[in-house]
């Protein structure tokens, strides 16, 4: 049975292609001097350049299998993710300039992603769908509450806000591609496929978050039980990012789930208004068309 996508017909996916932090340095503990918060976001940033390249390849593989309007959205998605990769590569250099050795995180991820070549493209796409859900719901939580980036250096906060906005904007591109290329499957099989992949990806995603934080704690000389207790409080208590995303994570397992069943474009527009963009956000936007 064909699934009509709830993606809003007037959705605009606008690759803003901004640059952040050029010619600047970043404090070692750039979120309010907090090594726990910094380790969490540093650990995530280090996965973006390679991770988003994987997302791009997974979705691009099926570009010719979807209708032209969806192809335009894929093109805009690719532009956004490519700019995110570039800006997080720069941010990751700032992390290294602050004195951290991040090679173990990067090489471990590279090894893991190298296996993608041998996997079925539909499995890579389903993994991208799951990871894009994570990025979208984390982005939503981050934009909704200023407490997540309280005390962050302003340029770093702008980078993460920009990234969060665009993750919300393109949150259904991989999902809609998945719906299109699996439309011949019975609904139950399709649900089972994406749900099992989500469980596997969630396991990997959470373990990677914790492992990567440990790499920073080691180098800060604070890899101790007390730091991990603080980490648990940070993630599940206050500001509690992981706790906040649990309902949205669970919603993925509902039959008939679609990312746009929650329309959070108002949140995105609010964030954009505070970003002080150097160019018109409407210029070159991609919805039905593409820049």
Which residue, 84 or 258, has its beta carbon nearer to Fe ion?
A: 84
Residue 134 C-alpha from the chain's centroid: 6
Q: Which residue of 16, 79, 84, 190 would you call a contact of Fe ion, by CB under 5 A?
A: 84
Q: Count of CB atoms within 10 A of residue 20's CB?
A: 18
How far is residue 177 from each of residues 64, 188, 238, measured CA to CA in Å?
10, 18, 36
What DSSP designation does 70 have?
H
Instruction: Find the shortest distance in angstroms from Cβ 130 to Fe ion.
Output: 12
With CB under 5 A, what is the number of residues at the site for Fe ion? Answer: 4
* Residue in 87, 94, 106, 90 with CA at minimum distance from that of residue 43: 106
Among the listed ranges 27-35, 77-85, 98-106, 139-147, the one in contact with Fe ion (CB under 5 A) is 77-85
Among the listed ranges 5-13, 81-89, 106-114, 274-282, the one in contact with Fe ion (CB under 5 A) is 81-89
Phi-psi region of 283 (alpha: psi -120 to 50; beta: other; left: phi over 0): beta
Q: Which residue of the chain is nearest Fe ion when measured via CB?
A: 84
Among the listed ranges 6-14, 75-83, 92-100, 189-197, the one in contact with Fe ion (CB under 5 A) is 75-83
Q: x/- contact string, 86-125, with Fe ion (CB under 5 A)?
A: ----------------------------------------
Q: Which residues between 194 and 253 bind Fe ion (CB under 5 A)?
A: none
What DSSP designation does 112 have?
H
Instruction: Find the shortest distance in angstroms from Cβ 216 to Fe ion.
Output: 21
How far is residue 190 from each of residues 126, 133, 197, 286, measured CA to CA in Å?
10, 16, 11, 28
φ, ψ at 286 (rounded to 5°): -115, 120
Instruction: Find the shortest distance in angstroms from Cβ 131 to Fe ion.
Output: 8
Instruction: Find the shortest distance in angstroms from Cβ 150 to Fe ion.
Output: 23
- Distance CA(239)–CA(112), nearest Å, equals 30
Q: Count of CB atoms within 10 A of residue 112's CB?
A: 15
* Residue in 144, 133, 124, 126 with CA at minimum distance from that of residue 251: 133
- Distance CA(36)–CA(120), nearest Å, equals 37
Q: x/- contact string, 123-142, with Fe ion (CB under 5 A)?
A: ------------x-------
Instruction: Find the shortest distance in angstroms from Cβ 217 to Fe ion.
Output: 26
Instruction: Find the shortest distance in angstroms from Cβ 93 to Fe ion.
Output: 18
Instruction: Find the shortest distance in angstroms from Cβ 89 to Fe ion.
Output: 12
Q: x/- contact string, 149-178, with Fe ion (CB under 5 A)?
A: ------------------x-----------
* Residue in 185, 179, 194, 184 with CA at minimum distance from that of residue 66: 179
Q: x/- contact string, 18-47, with Fe ion (CB under 5 A)?
A: ------------------------------
φ, ψ at 152 (rounded to 5°): -75, 150
- Distance CA(81)–CA(70), nearest Å, equals 16
Instruction: Find the shortest distance in angstroms from Cβ 51 to Fe ion.
Output: 8
Which residue, 170 or 190, has its beta carbon nearer to Fe ion?
A: 170
- Interacting residue ranges for Fe ion, rule: CB under 5 A: 81, 84, 135, 167
């Amino acid at each position: 049975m064909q699934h009509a996508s709830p993606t809003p017909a007037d959705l605009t996916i606008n690759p803003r292609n901004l640059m952040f932090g050029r010619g600047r340095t970043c404090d070692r503990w750039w979120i309010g001097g907090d090594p726990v918060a910094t380790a969490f976001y540093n650990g995530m940033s280090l996965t973006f350049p390679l991770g988003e390249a994987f997302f791009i390849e997974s979705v691009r593989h099926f570009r010719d299998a979807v209708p032209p309007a969806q192809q335009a959205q894929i093109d805009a998605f690719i532009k956004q993710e490519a700019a995110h990769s570039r800006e997080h590569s720069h941010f990751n250099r700032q992390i290294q300039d602050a004195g951290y050795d991040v090679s173990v995180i990067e090489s471990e991820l590279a090894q893991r992603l190298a296996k993608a070549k041998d996997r079925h493209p539909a499995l890579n796409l389903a993994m991208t769908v799951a990871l894009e859900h994570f990025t979208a719901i984390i982005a939503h939580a981050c934009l909704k509450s200023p407490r997540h980036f309280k005390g962050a250096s302003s340029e770093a906060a702008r980078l993460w806000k920009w990234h969060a906005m665009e993750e919300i904007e393109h949150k259904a591109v991989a999902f809609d591609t998945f719906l299109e290329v699996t439309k011949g499957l019975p609904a139950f099989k399709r649900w089972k496929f994406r749900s099992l992949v989500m469980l596997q990806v969630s396991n990997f995603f959470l373990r990677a978050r914790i492992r990567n934080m440990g790499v920073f704690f080691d180098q800060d000389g604070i890899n101790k039980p007390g730091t991990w207790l603080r980490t648990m409080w940070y993630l599940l208590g206050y500001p509690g990012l992981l706790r906040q995303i649990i309902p949205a994570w669970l919603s993925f397992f509902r039959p008939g789930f679609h990312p746009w069943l929650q329309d959070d474009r108002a949140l995105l527009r609010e964030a954009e208004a505070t970003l002080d963009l150097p160019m018109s956000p409407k210029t070159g936007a991609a919805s039905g068309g593409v820049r």
